[in-house]
Amino acid sequence: MNVLADRPRRLESYVGGVWTRGAKEGVALLDAATGAPVALIDSSGIDFAAALAYGREKAGPALRRMSFHERAAMLKALAQALMERKEEFYALSTATGATRSDSWIDIEGGIGTLFSYSSKGRRELPNTRVLVDGGVEALSRDDTFSAQHILTPLQGVAVHINAFNFPCWGMLEKLAPTLLAGMPAIVKPASQTAYLTELMVRRIVETGLLPEGAVQLICGSVGDLLDHVDGQDVVTFTGSAVTGRRLKTHPAIVENSVRFTMEADSLNAAVLGLDAGPGTEEFDLFVKEVAREMTAKAGQKCTAIRRVIAPRAHCDALITALDERLAKVALGNPADENVRMGPLASLGQRVEVRARIRDLGVDAEVVVGDPANPQVVSGDAEAGAFLNPILLYCGKPGAARSVHDVEVFGPVSTVMPYDAAEEAVELVKRGKGSLVTSVFTNDPDIAQELVIGMAPFHGRVLIGNRVSAKSSTGHGSPLPGLVHGGPGRAGGGEELGGMRGVKHYMQRTAVQGAPGLISAVTGRWIEGAPARADGEHPFRKSLAELQVGDQLVTATRTVTLEDIEHFANFTGDTFYAHMDEEAARANPFFDGRVAHGYLIVSFAAGLFVDPAPGPVLANYGVDNLRFLTPVYPGDVLQVRLTCKEINPRVNAEHGEVRWDCRVINQTGATVAQYDVLTMVAKTRG
C-alpha cells in the first residue's frame, strides 16, 4: 500500500474482524504543510452496537484466558513488530505537521510504552489471571473466616476517544494497560490525523499477535456507539473540556455508571524560582525548557507550557532570552530536514489558535512573534497551517482572567511576574487544575514551598535544576510509570502510572469466606488454608511437582548468649540492646539483652534450607519482613515454611516461588514473619 499516493485514500474502520468503509465518500483530510488531500474519512453505516458486542463476546474471553505474563509477552512482541515498521509511520507522520523529532515522541514514544508495560507486567504482576490487592483481612480469631481484595478484568470494552496531536502515542499509551489488564478496546482517533492511526492499526492486525477483536478501530464519527455502553465498559476521552463534559453526561454513561476518564484542557505552568536569576544554570535551563515546550509538536501537546511565571525582576531578561532562542527555530515543511518546527495540524486549527491569541489580548500583549504573518523556511505560509512561536506578557496576572482561563493549543505562552513564592503558588492555582507544572530552582526551601503548595492541583510536578539537567525527561513528557492526568480543568482523570493504569480496567472485589476457598480463588495460600506435608522437603520439588500449600515444619534451635555475642562481633552490629543487659532492660520494649533480628533470619534459613543441589536455583529476596516478638537467650526457635504462590515464567525454564515463612518460639508466639522469594526450575534436572 502506498501511504502517500496522489489520490486520497478512503480510510477504513476495523470492526467485527473486517475492514470496512463508510457509506459515504467522506470528508477530505489535508496535509498540514501543503494543504494537499491525504485521505477521506467517514464511518456512516457501521453497526456500533455490534462492534461492542464483538469485543465483549469474541475478544474479551480470549484475553481473560491469558495470564498477566502471557499478555505482557504479547505486548512485547507487538512492540517489536511495530518498531520494525517504524519508518513507514514516520513517512506518513509528516502529513500531520510533525518533524522527525516530533514524530519520535509519537511513534517510538508510543511503542516504548508497550515495551514498558510489557516489562512492568512481567516484573510486577504474578503469572495469574487474578490480581491480589493488599493483604488478607482476618475476620475471625481462629482463622476460619477471612477476606481478600482481588482485581479481575472488566468484561466489557474500553472505548478510547483520542486527540489529534498524538495519533500513535495517544492510542498506544491507552492500549498498553488496557490489554495487559485483559480488556479489549475500540479506538476512535481524532479525524484530522486518523490516517496515521489507521496505518498503525492495520499493521497491528497484520501481526496476528492479538486475539481477534482485541483492538477495533473507528475512523470517523462514533455515531450511536455510546448509546450501547454498559457498566462493564470503560470510556476514555482526550480532547476539549466542552466535548468531554458532553460525553461524560451522556445518558448511557450516567445511567450505567460507566467508568469515564477524561483528559481535557490544561493551562500548565512553569515557575522560575526566586533564586534562579540570569546567570544561573537554572535560568538557562528554564529558557531552554519553555522554548522546547512551545515548539515541540508546534505547541500542540496537552502538557505544553502555557503560563510562564517568573520573578518580576527577571521577566525582561527572560523575554529577551526567549526571543533570541525562538528566533532560531526554523518553521517550515517537516519533510525538510532543516526545519525544527512544523505547522499546526490543520488550517482550522490555525484559525482557532489565532482566535484564542486575541482572547489573551484582553489581559496580555504580544512581545515575540506575529500571529498574522508566519515566516517559513520552506512550504507555503498560507496553504500550510504555519504559525511562528508567539510569546505574550501579562503585567498584572493577579487581576487577569483570560491568561488563566484560555488554553491556546499551539506555540503560544504567556509570561507573567510574581514577587513572592506564595504569589507564584496562587497564580498556578488559578489554572484550576493542570496536568503538569514545572519548578526550576536549586533552593530546597523554595522547592518545598512551591511543590507542596501546587501539588493538589496537578497530576505531576517536575523540579528542574543543574543536578538533574542531563537526565531529566523534561516538563512535557508523560512517562509510563508516572500518572498522566490532572484534577479540575484537566479532566479529573488519570492514565498510565505503571500498574495503577492497569487497575483502571479491572474491578476490585472483596472476597470473604473460609481461607481454603479464598486460596482456591486467588491461587495464593493464606493463613488458615489447608497445608500439606508429604514427607518430602518442598525445596526438592520442581515447579511441576510443587503445589501451593506445601509446607515444612522444621526442627528447633535454641538461641544462646554466645550466639548473640558471636553474631555481634562477626558482623559489627554491637547495638546496645544486644550487648548491654542494663541498657536493654531500660528499653521499654525489652526485658534484657535480645538477639539480632538478622540473626533470627539467619537461624531460620539454617533450619529450613535443604543444602543439596536441586530445583531451587536461587534466593532472590525477602519481602515484608517484620520482627514481632523479642528473642532472648534460651528461647527455642522453629520455622514453618509454606509455599504461598507459584509464578512460572513464560518462555523460561524456571519460575518464582513465594514462601510464607513464620518463625515461632517455644510458647508459640510469632517471632518473625516474612516472604522468602526463590527461583525454582520447572522440572528436575
Residue 107 exposure: Cα atoms within 13 Å on the Cβ side: 26
- The answer for residues whose C-beta is within 8 angstroms of residue 92's C-beta and 6 or more apart is 3, 4, 195, 196, 199
- The answer for residues whose C-beta is within 8 angstroms of residue 266's C-beta and 6 or more apart is 302, 303, 306, 407, 431, 433, 434, 435, 436, 486, 489, 490
Do the beta carbons of residue 92 and residue 196 sit within 8 Å?
yes
C-alpha cell recorded at residue 536: 518430602
CA-CA distance, 325 to 311, in Å (whole number)? Answer: 20
Q: How many CB atoms lie under 10 A from the CB of residue 388?
A: 21
Secondary-structure breakdown of the chain: helix, strand, coil percentages, each rounded to the nearest 5: 35, 25, 40
Cβ burial of 246 (10 Å; 0-12, 13-18, 19+) is exposed
496 torsion bin: left (phi>0), alpha (psi -120 to 50), beta (else) = left
C-alpha cell recorded at residue 148: 481478600
Give me the residues paired with residue 20 across strands. Answer: 13
Residue 643 bears catalytic tag: no
State the pairing for strand pair 654-664/365-368. Answer: unpaired
Residue closest to 417 by CA, chosen among 439, 385, 394: 394
C-alpha cell recorded at residue 458: 496537578
CA-CA distance, 117 to 44, in Å (whole number)? Answer: 35
C-alpha cell recorded at residue 419: 514577587
Q: Which helix (H) or strand (E) holds 73?
A: helix 68-84
Taking the chain, what is the end-to-end CA distance rounded to the nearest angstrom? Answer: 51
CA-CA distance, 374 to 242, in Å (whole number)? Answer: 29
Do the beta carbons of residue 69 and residue 45 sit within 8 Å?
no
Point out the catalytic residue in the list 12, 173, 198, 263: 263
Point out the catalytic residue in the list 219, 302, 315, 643: 302
Task: Report the b/e string of 316-349 with b at 16+ CB within 10 A.
Answer: eebbebbeebbeebebbbbbbeebbbbbbbbbeb
Tell how far CA 405 is from the center of its chain: 28
Residue 421 exposure: Cα atoms within 13 Å on the Cβ side: 19
Do the beta carbons of residue 464 and residue 438 sit within 8 Å?
yes
Cα–Cα distance list, 106 to 164, 185, 303, 495 (Å): 11, 20, 14, 17
Do the beta carbons of residue 292 and residue 336 sit within 8 Å?
no
What's 94's DSSP letter? G
Question: What number of H helices and E strands is found in the chain?
Answer: 21, 27
Residue 545 bears catalytic tag: no
* Residues 631, 637, 640, 646, CA torsion sign: positive
Cα angle: 500, vertex 504, 510; to 5 degrees: 95
Q: How many CB atoms lie under 10 A from the CB of residue 632?
A: 17
Residue closest to 554 by CA, chosen among 527, 529, 533, 525: 533
Q: Would you please indicate which residues are annotated as catalytic (active-site) residues?
A: 263, 302
